[in-house]
């Protein structure tokens, strides 16, 4: 049954949505959305290296992403520049280096559109395995470091003072982001992955009152968007990645409707009558 490319697309997309939900929440809580973008931009360099050396794409992108994340930690300690400036510096310089290399190594032929926006319909069995095996590892690690990571997100000094290993949790979290971006390159592409991380989490924020609730609802929103997006793209023959993202935006807009308030005010009106 895995022969069918449609089924592979569903399985890969659903797997990805389940991971991006909780990770996306942490990205929003820690104001790291631009960091996700930076890692994603620098992924092009990984792709070029993978093609040039005939190496596995996901592993190459993962390695480059980790390198960029570590460079950021280094620059943060060495310079007085604000984080967003450092991220901009890294994102665009690494993207430029990737494009220069791509030009020099003229024998490489890359489907640039596929790289930028992903092509979920072209994923093969290996990609699906990467999503589910890699994704399960990411989720398990995230659950293991949840308490120190969450405490450090709320207040770093408090977490450190009370004996949690906040620095380690932060470093591991960075690696988790790098791996999710590597896994997702083929599915939604470099330009759209940050959207898949952030928009379901943002919609979930409007619907939840506890952190764990927000993480779970975020996964569910991602999952629904992937399923609806895939079907819509087949009906309209639209590009799949962008369609999925457009659906997440639709969910976000729906989440803005203040259901609780509406219910409460109706009750109040009834009471006052």
Partner 1 sequence: MNNSLVELNNCGVFRNQKWLVRGVSLKVSQGEIVTLIGPNGSGKSTTAKMSLDILKPDEGTNTIKKDIRISYVPQKISIDWSLPLRSIDFVNLVTKHKTSEINDALGITGIQHLINEDVRNLSGGEFQRLLMARAIAKEPHFLVLDEPVQGVDYSGEIALYKTIQEIVKKINCGILLISHNLHVVMSQTDYVICLNGHVCCSGIPSSVIKDQEYIKLFGSNIDPTLSLYKHNHDHHHLPDGSIKEADKNK
Binding site for partner 1 (CB under 8 A): 28-29, 31, 147, 150-151, 153-155, 157-164, 205, 208-211, 213-214
Q: Shortest approach of partner 1 to residue 166 CB, angstroms?
A: 10
* Cβ nearer to partner 1, comparing 163 with 272: 163
**Min. distance of Cβ 260 from partner 1 in angstroms?**
12
The CB-based long-range contact list for 78-85 (8 Å cut-off, 24+ gap) reads 83/34, 84/34
- At closest approach, how far in Å is the CB of 202 from partner 1? 8
Minimum distance of partner 1 from residue 244's CB (angstroms)? 23
Is 81 or 154 the residue whose CB approaches partner 1 more closely?
154
The number of CA neighbours under 13 Å toward the Cβ of 45 is 22
Residue closer to partner 1 by CB (options 56, 76) is 76
Spell out a b/e string for 152-163, using b for 16 or more CB atoms within 10 Å of the CB, else e. Answer: bbeeeeebeeee
Q: What interhelical angle do 5-29 and 193-205 show, nearest 10?
A: 60
- Cβ atoms 222, 18 nearer than 8 A: yes
In angstroms, give the least distance from the CB of 214 to partner 1: 5
Supply the minimum distance, in Å, between the C-beta of residue 211 and partner 1. Answer: 6
| Angle between the N-to-C axes of helices 5-29 and 33-53, in degrees from 0 to 180, rounded to the nearest 10 | 140
Nearer to partner 1, 133 or 212 (CB): 212
State in angstroms the smallest separation of the CB of 210 from partner 1.
Answer: 6
228: which 2 tokens? 């609806």
**Smaller CB separation from partner 1, 115 or 203:** 203
Determine the angle formed by the axes of helices 193-205 and 240-255, rounding to 10 degrees.
Answer: 20
Q: CB nearer to partner 1: give 6 or 257.
A: 257
Instruction: Show Cβ contacts of residue 79 under 8 Å, excluding neighbours closer than 6 positions.
Output: 86
Calculate ∠ Cα 252-212-70, nearest 5°.
Answer: 85
Q: Which is nearer to partner 1, 42 or 153 (CB)?
A: 153
Task: Report the SS3 class of residue 26.
Answer: helix
Residue with tokens 């009834």: 270
* Exposure string over 124-133, b if 16+ CB within 10 A, otherwise e: eeebbebbbe
């Amino acid at each position: 049954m895995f022969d069918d490319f449609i089924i592979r697309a569903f399985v890969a997309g659903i797997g990805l949505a389940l991971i991006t939900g909780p990770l996306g929440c942490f990205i929003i809580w820690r104001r790291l959305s631009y960091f996700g973008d930076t890692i994603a931009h620098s992924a092009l360099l990984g792709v070029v290296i993978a093609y040039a050396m005939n190496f596995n794409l996901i592993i190459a992108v993962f390695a480059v992403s980790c390198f960029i994340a570590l460079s950021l930690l280094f620059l943060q300690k060495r310079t007085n520049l604000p984080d967003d400036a450092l991220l901009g510096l890294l994102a665009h310089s690494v993207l430029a280096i990737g494009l220069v290399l791509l030009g020099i190594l003229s024998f490489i032929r890359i489907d640039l559109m596929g790289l930028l926006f992903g092509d979920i319909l072209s994923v093969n069995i290996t990609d699906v395995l990467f999503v589910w095996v890699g994704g399960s590892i990411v989720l398990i690690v995230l659950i293991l470091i949840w308490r120190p990571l969450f405490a450090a997100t709320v207040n770093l000094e408090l977490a450190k003072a009370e004996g949690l290993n906040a620095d380690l949790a932060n470093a591991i979290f960075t690696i988790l982001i790098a791996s999710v971006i590597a896994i997702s390159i083929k599915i939604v592409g470099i330009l759209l992955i940050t959207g898949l991380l952030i928009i379901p989490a943002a919609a979930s924020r409007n619907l939840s009152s506890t952190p764990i609730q927000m993480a779970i609802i975020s996964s569910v929103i991602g999952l629904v968007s992937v399923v609806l997006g895939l079907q819509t793209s087949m009906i309209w023959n639209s590009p799949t990645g962008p369609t999925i993202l457009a659906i997440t935006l639709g969910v976000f807009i729906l989440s803005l409707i203040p259901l609780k308030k509406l219910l409460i005010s109706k009750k109040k009106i009834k009471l006052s009558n």
